[in-house]
Amino acid sequence: MTGLKRLSPPQSRKVNSLVKRECCNCDSGNCILLDDGEECVCPQLISYSLLCKWFLTAVLPIDKLLYAELFKTEDKKRCTECGAFFASKSNSVKYCPDCRKRITRRQAAERMRKKRTLVTQ
């Protein structure tokens, strides 16, 4: 990565929640890696940029949508049903995980309904 990646306030809130929940080096808001005898606040929690290499390589890829948004990868797609963005590794995916379940059930119900009408005729 060249240069610092500036974060918008919503992105910064997502990054801060990821640091607090998932980063193994964050202990009560303090960075264990930077601890040299006295507590040091985690740089990700006090800046609007991506500073920590550990966070970039180990923690950020957990949130695929945020990762795709920050690094402009092609994994970010828009759901054709609700219009929300979601991360995907496949080219053929059209729906976000929330809509996919609902649409799959609806299509299965329609398929079974059609099958039952063909059998009874």
| Residue 82: inside a domain | no
| Residue 103: inside a domain | no
Q: Give CA–CA dist 120/37, Å, rounded.
A: 78
Number of domains in the chain: 1
| Residue 58: inside a domain | yes
| Residue 86: inside a domain | no
| Residue 52: inside a domain | yes
| pLDDT, tens digit, 9 for 90 and up, residues 28-42 | 888 888 877 778 888
pLDDT, position 114: 93
CB 43 within 8 Å of CB 51: yes
| Residue 117: inside a domain | no
| Residue 84: inside a domain | no
pLDDT, position 109: 96
| Residue 67: inside a domain | yes
CB 70 within 8 Å of CB 5: yes
| φ/ψ (deg, to 5) at 6 | -80, 140
Residue 57, domain extent: 9-73
Q: What is the maximum span of the chain, computed from C-alpha positions, in angstroms? A: 81
pTM for the whole structure: 0.55
